[in-house]
Structure 1
């Protein structure tokens, strides 16, 4: 008779060793990536590949993470945990080496997509025991309150550490060390992980492979538009138009297919739940603020002249805010406080962050003055990740939670973030040229014999145009943010809504 083992390691491994193994594997899987956003400039200049390919690859990692989620449990029940984790680590190491050595942009993108799929498989293998450790009673809210700060904080460290190491050794060596670490972890897994199955073996049936292909086609085409839109002048490019048509046709085909087959890849029943619909609407607001955060990068790079390392150091100042958001979330969920004001606090922190940036758009600024806004940025980002996730999936059945997570996760982390980042980048460029046009009258005065010093150099004009464009953008975001705050403040969440309904019913009697 086949014996099943829901653990990961042999019985001779002590409990403390098992905890260390889980922390080591999960931390390395989360930290190691094929592309680090802060190093894209170095990678492009070193290999001759367009930076847009690396941006496309960066999106492809997120897409790979979400593609495998709807049937991740089938994969877990089909194979042994040892087989899955070792394969995931080896594939991640291989894809990391490919990205470090290739000079072909398309290969970079494909390698990143495969890396994302393998990364999610490896993360889920560790995520289940981590959930049991952090929340033994199965409370999802408590788990989110602890796991999200760790995950987001690791992402910030994963931006800073590569910037430091690549400055000392070169970006390729960072990938070599990452690949070697993953292979070493795979060897450790061979030694300490048992060969038993997690549960009864299940075949690969009732999987909508065509739906998966359509979903991936939509996301990869959309990622191409986000990455190459500015470089190819958006919809003035035939390539962008073709990608947009592919997205629209694939979306229509996917919807028809999911509504007509017995075992759909994506279940649209999820969106009949009221909280899910409003949660997705809140994710639009979160995406706006996260995308608008790119204005700070434009300011620090173009106006203050910071390099990628200084920007990465500035990004570390989000960590106190992330920790604070996790602390507040833990006690909020522990005491069963309604989620409404926690969501409001996240948007309020983002709103104050944008207001402070608006008044800091000056030609010279000490870096220490940006620390507190970054703390607000970290609190807003982490608190909204936790609170909106809790609110959106609170009433989703546990049996359908994983298939439901994929479209919402990709909507939050890719579709909205990429959309607003691209939109704000395009608007900033347009507003910058408009500002230069508004100042063109001063150029004419040069021809009339005015002193150059009284008019200012061309560089000063350009910097002034960037500042004017940034302030204009921040003003629009602040106005939109005020609308979001009012929506959250007056929207009825959970317990309060039903109390009001009962009170009105009582009055009618």
Structure 2
């Protein structure tokens, strides 16, 4: 086993390795959200339905979440540099193939392969950055990595919107190619692999573990992505996959704890900081991806923003987070306990959610969103780095890779749960609010009568017959009720998100004393 300090880099080598790792993390994360704004164009040019096109996102997410827990093991098998460089090549080549897909299922297949390459980039980049910095500067290392991870999801929609509006959807994939080539070259030249000792023979590989992991994660991700549109447990496929996922998880845990060479090292979860960090990372993923997902949809469907405008709305939030990251890194280096920063982050996220709840109306403007989103940026800055450093702070050597794999997987799963739960809640709440609003529109209500009459006269003046005009007046009334119901459901979502973050605070304060500073004594 190689001494942990021997991977620490200095001077220009560390700068180049850091840039390479962030480029790769950005590639992977931007690609998670860049597709969202291009789905309509893909649907049109590939002649697919919306359900088919949703698979472009699902396939990538499933591949990501399957490969992330296995990255640490694969790094040990093939050597980290080789594995990282191969993942970049797979990602880059499949990006080219995605852009050239002739039908929707070709695109879905190439997206799955792209996800297998991409999932590896995220966790391996985090491990490389962590190990390239001396232990005392780990907080700063996580801050630099965090800038890529937080800015990535927000860069996706405006960049995607720009490319789709000015070129065509394949360019959202082609943009990866030059970056991928540069990143692969830099990896081969500069990244070093730790020596992990013996490699496993093919017969020792935990194939059963791989199959169980794929079954559990694949089924779970499918259920989360398609549950709402298929009516959850009223659908036999969703029910069957939920049961499969549960049994897959139980058997997977049993297998990993009893097999001599497990594909995922569960024993690393004995570290109490990593356990708490993993739960908090899940909630962070829930909040980060959930709110990144909900705002563009709200602004486009309710307020009528274009894809580019909806994406640009999130930019101030990202800039704030990027600005916060180095400051938080410095505070951690000075020994400010992580749990206080995380508590502040959760409290600020609660304020942001409450603020969004208060400013939402059917005609909220960009200016109303600006400050709440800046506050969101502060909250994310305070959460991301301390949670990540806390999770990995007491791990040493090869356990860092295993720990990074857990936090990476739980962040992605948190995001998937967040998006699935939020879409379900929006649909259910909107129906409920519509039912609650309808009694207010009674035919005997004078105001309602005047409104209908006014709308009817307007349509008659435009040349419609009286009965047509009345029909159109009712339609407009129905649309405005639906819009009001949708706005109310988004308000509910923000309120619940806020409460969720508030409930996390007591758990954070349970973190063991001494976990705040990175322990350097155990390293040497």
Specify the TM-score bucket, using the shorter chain as the normaliser.
0.7 to 0.9
Q: CA deviation at 1:136?
A: 4.3
| 1:101-152: CA deviation from partner (whole Å, max 9, x where unpaired) | 335555444433332333355667776765566x245743231122212332
Q: 1:213 to 1:310 in 2, by over 3 A?
A: same
Give the CA RMSD over aligned residues.
3.6
**Residue 273 of structure 1, aligned match among 267, 271, 274:** 271
Q: How does 1:222-371 map to 2 (within 5 A)?
A: 222-290=220-288, 292-293=290-291, 294-371=293-370
Equivalent residue, structure 2, for 1:373: 372
**Residue 211 of structure 1, aligned match among 197, 209, 218:** 209
Match of 1:495, SS state, is coil
| 1:67-89: CA deviation from partner (whole Å, max 9, x where unpaired) | 44131432443x8x4x6565434
Q: CA deviation at 1:349?
A: 1.8
| 1:253-302: CA deviation from partner (whole Å, max 9, x where unpaired) | 21221122112222332333332333233334434433552443343122
Q: 1:352 to 1:324 in 2, by over 3 A?
A: farther
Q: 1:104 to 1:251 in 2, by over 3 A?
A: farther
Residues 68 and 120 in structure 1, CA contact (< 8 A), matched pair in contact too: no
Within the alignment, does 1:473 sit opposite 2:493 as a pair? yes
For the residues of structure 1 that align with 2:437 and 2:367, how far apart are their CA atoms?
32
Higher alpha-carbon deviation: 164-173 or 206-215: 206-215
**Residue 59 of structure 1, aligned match among 49, 58, 61:** 61
Match of 2:233, SS state, is helix
Equivalent residue, structure 1, for 2:464: none
Q: 1:493 to 1:56 in 2, by over 3 A?
A: same
Residues 72 and 121 in structure 1, CA contact (< 8 A), matched pair in contact too: no
For the residues of structure 2 that align with 1:245 and 1:364, how far apart are their CA atoms?
43
Q: 1:73 to 1:230 in 2, by over 3 A?
A: same
Residues 17 and 191 in structure 2, CA contact (< 8 A), matched pair in contact too: no
Equivalent residue, structure 2, for 1:504: none
| 1:221-273: CA deviation from partner (whole Å, max 9, x where unpaired) | 11211222222222222221222122122112212211221122223323333
Q: CA deviation at 1:485?
A: 3.1
Q: 1:201 to 1:413 in 2, by over 3 A?
A: same
Residues 391 and 403 in structure 2, CA contact (< 8 A), matched pair in contact too: no
Equivalent residue, structure 1, for 2:23: 27
Higher alpha-carbon deviation: 388-397 or 440-449: 440-449
Equivalent residue, structure 1, for 2:457: none
Matched pairs, number: 478
Q: How does 1:40-439 map to 2 (within 5 A)?
A: 40-49=39-48, 50-63=52-65, 65-77=67-79, 81=81, 84=83, 87-102=86-101, 105-119=104-118, 130-131=129-130, 135-136=133-134, 139-179=137-177, 182-183=180-181, 193=189, 203-205=199-201, 206-290=204-288, 292-293=290-291, 294-414=293-413, 416-439=414-437
For the residues of structure 2 that align with 1:184 and 1:441, how far apart are their CA atoms?
62
Residues 149 and 322 in structure 1, CA contact (< 8 A), matched pair in contact too: yes
Higher alpha-carbon deviation: 34-43 or 199-208: 199-208
For the residues of structure 2 that align with 1:155 and 1:224, how far apart are their CA atoms?
21
Residues 297 and 311 in structure 1, CA contact (< 8 A), matched pair in contact too: yes
Match of 1:171, SS state, is coil
Q: CA deviation at 1:361?
A: 1.1
For the residues of structure 2 that align with 1:200 and 1:344, how far apart are their CA atoms?
37
Residues 34 and 115 in structure 1, CA contact (< 8 A), matched pair in contact too: no
Residues 48 and 103 in structure 1, CA contact (< 8 A), matched pair in contact too: no
Within the alignment, does 1:464 sit opposite 2:484 as a pair? yes
For structure 1, list consecutive stretches of 5 or more residues without a partner in the other structure: 1-5, 8-14, 499-509
Match of 1:156, SS state, is helix
Equivalent residue, structure 2, for 1:502: none
So what's the TM-score if we normalise by structure 1? 0.81
